[in-house]
Chains A and B, each alone.
Chain A
Amino acid sequence: DSGVTQTPKHLITATGQRVTLRCSPRSGDLSVYWYQQSLDQGLQFLIQYYNGEERAKGNILERFSAQQFPDLHSELNLSSLELGDSALYFCASSVTPGEDVEAFFGQGTRLTVV
């Protein structure tokens, strides 16, 4: 157990809908990362937060947004969902956003858009 908790584990929804994925980082970790893993794809970086502030952005679609709350948990909001958004979404956390700091991953949320 990495200490990073993601909910829900599975989510099935229809095209056009909006969903929220939740992540609780490890105790003491201030930085949260969101990654998308599609079939046969690696881990695509979406966005990073550090202590409530957006730190870095990757190839995150405009339909997607995220935030980190004062208690450090984070939510990833996906709207106007398309079939191609079906993927595993991982949250990871680290103590700081430093370049050589180990990131701990949650077990992921499997999103299926039908």
Chain B
Amino acid sequence: GENVEQHPSTLSVQEGDSAVIKCTYSDSASNYFPWYKQELGKGPQLIIDIRSNVGEKKDQRIAVTLNKTAKHFSLHITETQPEDSAVYFCAASGGSYIPTFGRGTSLIVHP
């Protein structure tokens, strides 16, 4: 089955800095890569996704890049704000239709 590795597990940045979270996957059949944000006491919420026919996607301050050859994808958050503090999960799906999640990155943005 699919295996998703996510790094780092914790990321601490100053407000206004950029944050980058990286994931790798194992199943070459995977072709959908969503990113979820989980705030304290809430369920994960989709913030951006990318499909295998696209190399990069942006939505305001967040962007995701995908390298299918290397089987890795990354989340980039620019101009971080305290409200960006949360746990971020990457996921991959395609071959099995079941999203497989990484272990999460706890992002802390210091004011």
Contact between chains at B93 and A99 (CB < 8 Å): yes
Contact string against A for B residues 37-81, beta-carbon threshold 8 Å, 1 for contact and 0 otherwise: 000011111100101000000000000000000000000000000
**How many A-B pairs with Cβ below 8 Å?**
61
Partner of B43 from A2, A48, A56, A97 at Cβ < 8 Å: A2
Partner of A106 from B6, B43, B51, B95 at Cβ < 8 Å: B43
* B-side contacts of A58, CB under 8 Å: 98
Contact between chains at B42 and A45 (CB < 8 Å): no
Which residues of B approach A to under 8 Å, CB–CB? 6, 31-32, 34, 36, 41-46, 49, 51, 89, 93-104
The 4 residue pairs across chains A and B that have the minimum distance between CB atoms: A105-B43, A100-B32, A42-B103, A43-B101
22 contacts between A and B (CB under 8 A): A2-B43, A33-B99, A42-B101, A42-B102, A43-B101, A45-B99, A45-B100, A48-B98, A56-B96, A90-B44, A99-B95, A100-B32, A100-B94, A102-B49, A103-B34, A103-B46, A104-B46, A105-B36, A105-B43, A106-B43, A107-B43, A108-B43
